[in-house]
Amino acid sequence: MIEIKGFLIQDDGDPSVGNNPASWEFPGPFYFEDNEELEEFRDELKSLMQLQSECPYVETFEEIEEQRALEDKWIADQEEDQRQHDQYMVSLMNPDYELKKG
């Protein structure tokens, strides 16, 4: 059994022709027997929303949370890399400076 907290449907729109971006939330929970049933439901939602939107894309709340977590990790990794680089540059300019780890 798969539990999904909800779905977010988004359409980027085309502002050049007056079609503004839009999004719709469908909070759950929703329950599915397996991934196949989940994907069938996602396809049905997308098909239904094509009446309102030219090219909608459907994400689960869980997929959005996972993407945000990956983005947060990437940002933290970049900040750590920058911190280490800054420490290294300071150590080059000041031979008495001791590099700190972690």
Residues lower than pLDDT 50 in the chain: 102
Assigned token pair, 68:
């945000």
pLDDT value of residue 99: 56
Structural domain spans, the chain: 2-93
Query: Tokens 């239904």, residue?
Result: 48
Alpha-carbon distance of 22 to 10, in angstroms, equals: 6
Residue 75's SS3 state is helix
Answer yes or no: are the C-beta atoms of 32 and 4 closer than 8 Å. Answer: yes
Name the pTM for this structure: 0.66
CA angle 5, 24, 66 (to 5 degrees): 40
Beta strands (DSSP E) in 1-102 are 2-11, 22-32, 57-60
Task: List pLDDT tens digits, range 32-48.
Answer: 999 999 999 999 998 88
* C-alpha–C-alpha distance, residues 92 and 61, integer Å: 47
pLDDT of residue 44: 92
